[in-house]
Amino acid sequence: MLPRTPDLIFVNVTTLEAQPYCLELTLKGWRITSLRSDCMVGDFTRLELFTKYYDSLYLLMDDISPGYRERFSEKLVQRLKLIEAGEEDQVAPCASLQSPSLSTDSSSKESQYSSTESLPIVTPVSTPAIDPDFKPKFK
């Protein structure tokens, strides 16, 4: 629904806490544009939230979603235990991620974000080097 160019893309995400976000990805990095999907206009009373750029989606998600942080930590611990036990080749990457239900039942002893589903395995890619002699051409 939002514009897309070779230098700009918008991505809608919803956190484990059920908060929707519209994110922008440019050469500067990832940025929150709105607390609603398909929206480029942020809340001007929270300007600091919408002007901060992140080097990676992981850093952005870690900042906005405690559930993401907890779930990522759980999966990291599970993976490290498998590696320590010499079973790392038995873990297959997952093609999709199903979020657990967001139960508000406080009697549950297990974390509301825990799940047996695997987080997707993504290889980080470094930001391409910028040519200091590059001169943009504007028409």
Mean pLDDT of the chain: 75
Q: How does pLDDT run across 26-56, given as a tens digit for each residue?
A: 999 999 999 999 988 877 778 888 889 999 9
- Measure the CA–CA gap between 113 and 82, rounded to whole angstroms: 21
Q: How does pLDDT run across 41-94, given as a tens digit for each residue?
A: 877 778 888 889 999 999 999 999 999 989 988 998 998 888 888 876 555 554
Fold that domain 8-85 belongs to in CATH: copper amine oxidase-like fold (3.30.2280)
Query: Domain boundaries in the chain?
Result: 8-85
